[in-house]
Amino acid sequence: MKVTKQDMRWMNEPEKWKQKDDEIKITCPMEVDYWRNTLHGFVKDDAPFYWMYVDYNFEARLSMKGKYKYLYDQAGLMLRLDEENWIKLGICHYRDQLYVSCVFTRGNSDWSTHRLPKTKIEWFHVWAKRRGEVVECYYSLDNENWIRIRQGYFTDAPRLRVGMMCAAPESAGFKVTFTNFLIKGGVDDEDEESVEEDEDDDFNDRYAMKNPALSLLPPEEGGTLGRNWEEEGSYGEAEENEEEEVED
């Protein structure tokens, strides 16, 4: 389902933002972030977060584009239980280029990154899937071919806050646009089958799971962009066939 303005609430509402239909434009304030303890020893919990409640198993997708210029300028999807338990999945400016960024926080923050190609990236897309206590995190440059960056234990709490966030820990802020915030599921397991029958086919399981560490880098940077996408099928099918295809 597409999320409406009436579904959403603010945590740390920024001074400048506007929403038209499913497009949300935010001017991220200066020196705000979400982080807990790891390496740096500080806690930050003051960045804009535009969210709604989602229960039980669900999938969430979000697209974003921004003027990321300075160290740690970032935007993405957040899943949040409380101040000490949250996930943020998105794009981050780091070491003078853009990276996929995924932080699992359970008391302390655990950060994963993956370097993106140096070509111009306009829209960036993320997808999180919750199944019980486990969350899987994916990203895409074209909103069709998806690569998993993280899978991990999060929480067994039934209700989470899910939405979009942006942060500028070491800069004066930047402008970011979010769109296509979609939620699938979010109901008790007993009701999930009936809900899935009513869903459209917008959440086709199409992944690029072969050699995920290289697949979004172009050949000139040592990657395989454009040569290894799985056009059809699900992650499970790709995984089952991977050994046979490698032998060929």
Q: Assign residue 92 the CATH number of its domain.
A: 2.60.120.200
Separation of alpha carbons 46 and 170, rounded Å: 13
Separation of alpha carbons 72 and 32, rounded Å: 10
Looking at the fold, whether 154 and 31 belong to one and the same domain comes out as: yes
The helix (run of H) or strand (run of E) holding residue 241 is helix 235-247
Count how many Cα atoms sit within 13 Å of the Cα of residue 144 in the half-sphere of its side chain: 6
* Tens digits of residue pLDDT in 38-83: 998 999 999 999 999 999 999 999 999 999 999 999 999 999 999 9
Residue 88 β-bridge partners: 78, 103
196 in any annotated domain: no
Write down which residue in 190, 220, 239 finishes a domain.
190
Looking at the fold, whether 86 and 157 belong to one and the same domain comes out as: yes
* Tens digits of residue pLDDT in 74-97: 999 999 999 999 999 999 999 899
Looking at the fold, whether 183 and 209 belong to one and the same domain comes out as: no
Q: DSSP assignment, residue 3?
A: P
By the 8 A CB rule, do 97 and 225 touch? no
Question: Domain residues for 164?
Answer: 5-190
Write out the chain's pLDDT in tens, 248 residues.
Answer: 667 778 899 999 999 999 999 999 999 999 999 999 999 899 999 999 999 999 999 999 999 999 999 999 999 999 999 999 999 999 999 989 999 999 999 999 999 999 999 889 999 999 999 999 999 999 999 999 999 999 999 999 999 999 999 999 999 999 999 999 999 998 654 444 443 444 444 444 343 333 444 444 445 555 544 443 333 333 333 334 444 444 44
Looking at the fold, whether 101 and 129 belong to one and the same domain comes out as: yes
Separation of alpha carbons 77 and 80, rounded Å: 10
* Tens digits of residue pLDDT in 192-201: 444 344 444 4
Separation of alpha carbons 28 and 182, rounded Å: 22
Separation of alpha carbons 244 and 80, rounded Å: 40
The DSSP-derived string for 64-128 is: EEE---STT-EEEEEEEEETTEEEEEEEEEETTEEEEEEEEEESEEEEEEEEPPSS----EEEEE
